[in-house]
Chain A
């Protein structure tokens, strides 16, 4: 049922979800705050923060909207060998593998131009690529669980899955970046 176009009706439909998602995002901020010393020491990592969390959310939401469309068209089955499922999952990983090295190099280059780069190019690219691939795999898992959950609960995946996936991936983006920095640096 479509929401009526009044401030009150839109707010009633939107605000509870929005506040819940805000709490989730504050959680990801707390993780960010926990490694602020590394972020202030290595400015390249600080530059990586918005783009890593944003891209993780985007990979998830692109996958979610494609799965939700095939779900509506009735061409999606939740079987491990399903072509739509496997093909989209592989494409998500391929996208991560091709864009994240560029992200790392871009972050390093921009930090160097401002004269504050302290990490070598290869370390920043390694951090970006490792985080990116880990996030792609997590984004696939989260999207599948959320889409399947929406299907089982008979909710429209368009309404539910994309906001959930985007925000969960934001949090995972910070966690993965934190983990990879600890592991590699």
Chain B
């Protein structure tokens, strides 16, 4: 193929997924922009945002890729009802690892900012990370598995579905549930002051 052919091909193939993730990213941005009061009320929250969003992409992107590969190899049936043990193990592992990474991020942010004398609250950051991680994890597991299965049954390559779905829904739900988590934790008065 000529260079021009490669360029046109690559551009056309990537544009739809990129546009979908842009829309997701902009919605996430609007939520973040609307969170200014909370971001100022919780020291360290802004620092935590990239790690929490990336964890969603890393964990559930990997879950999606794993399920897609398993479908190709025929080791998982594209049905949720069967209560497939392997599927449940993969989902449980994703959720558990996502929570561990979120809490880890909160602890690291706490340590770094404490060293800089910014006075964050460990309890507050960890609680926000865990609540947001749990809520977005449950939703993302359901969305990723459902969409990959549905796409596969309609004859689409699940591998090409996973990336755009995870980045788009991960950004939107990741940010929305972060807002829910922050409001909940602030309402409960955890670690305030």
Contacts and interface: CB of A to CB of B under 8 A. Distances in A.
Given A32-B47, A99-B18, A25 B105 contact: yes
Contacts of A65: 163
A22 B108 contact: yes
Interface in B29-58: 29-30, 32-34, 36, 39-40, 44, 46-51, 53-55, 57-58
Given A29-B46, A50-B25, A51-B26, A62 B62 contact: no
A55 B18 contact: yes
B10 A66 contact: yes
A137 interface: no
B14 interface: yes
Interface string A26-50: 1011101100100110011011111
Q: How large is the interface on B (under 10, 10 to 19, 20 to 34, 35 or more residues)?
A: 35 or more
Interface in B8-37: 8-11, 13-15, 17-19, 21-22, 24-26, 28-30, 32-34, 36
Contacts of A52: 25
Contacts of B26: 47, 51, 103, 106-107, 110
B154 interface: no
Contacts of A61: 163
A31 B179 CA distance: 21
B82 interface: no
Contacts of A95: 11, 14-15, 18
B89 A10 contact: yes
B24 A54 contact: yes
B51 A29 contact: yes
A10 B90 contact: yes
A102 interface: yes
Contact of A22 (B2, B70, B75, B101): B101
B101 A18 contact: yes
- For B8, B11, B14, the residue with the greatest tally of chain A CB atoms inside 10 Å of its CB is B14
Interface of A is mostly: helix
Interface stretch (B92-100, B141-149, B183-191): B92-100
Contact of B29 (A22, A49, A57, A90): A49
Interface in B76-118: 85-86, 89-90, 92-94, 96-97, 100-101, 104-105, 108-109, 112-113
A85 B163 CA distance: 22
A91 B10 contact: yes
5 smallest CB-CB distances across A and B, nearest first, come from A87-B6, A51-B25, A91-B10, A47-B29, A5-B86
